[in-house]
Chain A
Amino acid sequence: MRSIIVRTFGRALTPFILIYGIYLMLFGPVSPGGGFQGGVVLASGVILVLVTHGRKKVKKLTDHVESFDTIGTFIILIFGIVGILIGGSFFVNLTPYRMSSLVFLDIIVGIKVFAGVVVLAVFFFEQGVESC
């Protein structure tokens, strides 16, 4: 059982970490940050819950997050191939609006990286918990 100090700080800090991760993802094209960094920050928020509150609190999320990794990779691959077919190059901007495809790609990349890092962390924590 974790102490009340650890649990309280985990509960208080997690929303800010998640909001900062989403901010990094959404504002990637106009400010420092981007999909990779936003996804890793989001995953660190989930890992904080995992460490301070145990495995059961995030079980609902981590059971379904494995498939996001594969789906994200395929969406990005299909996006790149569509760019080759339509615009003539990989990752071309598909719509006439500026940075519309960049925001889309940033969000997809962020979700993909988030899923991957969460899966890795849950996997390693499960192995550690067994030995405790």
Chain B
Amino acid sequence: MKESIFKRVFTGIIVVFICMMLLYGMDLGHEDKSDSPLTEFYVENYEETGAINLVEAILFDYRGYDTFGELLVLYIAITGVIILGKEIIKPKEQDGGGEES
């Protein structure tokens, strides 16, 4: 019983902590950062990248390395899942096929 009570209290503390973090992130007591010089530069000069859409210009030109990193993260995750999963699956198939177990 003591363990479960401790777990509940611990979970409650974590939930309250996460809620506080989220509320802190939700612009409480922060100043508006939407008019920084970089934003103005993007809005004025995004046509030099050859894009029509501002979002696409940032995604594929100004933040190209970020986009490529995202793709690489997805690729590495899928490769890891396939490699680990095939090691899990293969022994089963070999047991069913060849060995006498």
Contact = CB atoms under 8 A, between A and B. Distances in A.
B9 interface: no
Nearest to B88: A127
A91 B60 CA distance: 6
Contact of B78 (A91, A97, A109, A116): A116
Interface of A: 28-31, 34, 36, 66, 69-70, 72-73, 76-77, 80, 89-93, 97-102, 105, 109, 112-113, 116, 119-120, 123, 126-127, 130
A99 B67 contact: no
Interface residues of B, number: 25
Interface string B48-85: 01111100100111001101101110110011011001
Contacts of A97: 50
Interface of B: 49-53, 56, 59-61, 64-65, 67-68, 70-72, 74-75, 78-79, 81-82, 85, 89, 92
A91 B56 contact: no
Contacts of B53: 29-31
Contacts of B64: 80, 89-91
9 contacts: A29-B53, A69-B79, A73-B71, A77-B68, A80-B64, A91-B68, A93-B50, A116-B75, A127-B85
A123 B82 contact: yes
Contact of A99 (B50, B71, B79): B50
